[in-house]
Amino acid sequence: MTNPRIERLFEHTKLLCFGRYVLTVPSDSRLTFGRDFPTLPNQAKDIDKVMEAERAKILARNKTAEINYFGKGPVANTWLIRSYKSDSAKELELEGFRIYHVVGPHIFADGRGTANGATADSIIRDAIEIAQNLRPRETDE
């Protein structure tokens, strides 16, 4: 027997990823630690459209924005967009990374940049580690 308050809470849900787990949570839930890791449920088949939309957003924000890589990521089931927001960002070597992890029917998006000690190598290394550990939760977990 389920509590009616709990049932109401779970009327509208979304997927939430933390660490290597993906959970179904109430739609107004928010992860309170770590980086934001947006989930695009049931959109894996549309990865090309998702990436094209992100490319268009990057280029629309600044007329000097530049996409310097658009395609497959460093490991299976990852896709990557590397870009500079502007000429100034390029001069300062502030490169943006948009990484998409496809797990089952879902896409998990991660955005990082080469600032505050992060390098292109460290961002790629982190993306590989996330890809190796990200998986759907088993039904018995």
Is residue 17 classed exposed, middle or buried when 0-12, 13-18 and 19+ CB atoms within 10 A define those classes?
Answer: buried
**Domains, the chain, ordered by start:** 32-133 (3.30.310)
Structure-model confidence comparison of residues 13 and 140, the more confident one: 13
- 86: left (phi > 0), else alpha (psi -120 to 50), else beta? beta
Enter the pTM of the model. Answer: 0.74
Q: How confident is the model at residue 8 (pLDDT cuts 50, 70, 90)?
A: confident
For residue 136, count other CB atoms closer than 10 A to its CB.
Answer: 15
DSSP readout, 111-133?
EEES-TT--HHHHHHHHHHHHHH
Structure-model confidence comparison of residues 74 and 18, the more confident one: 74
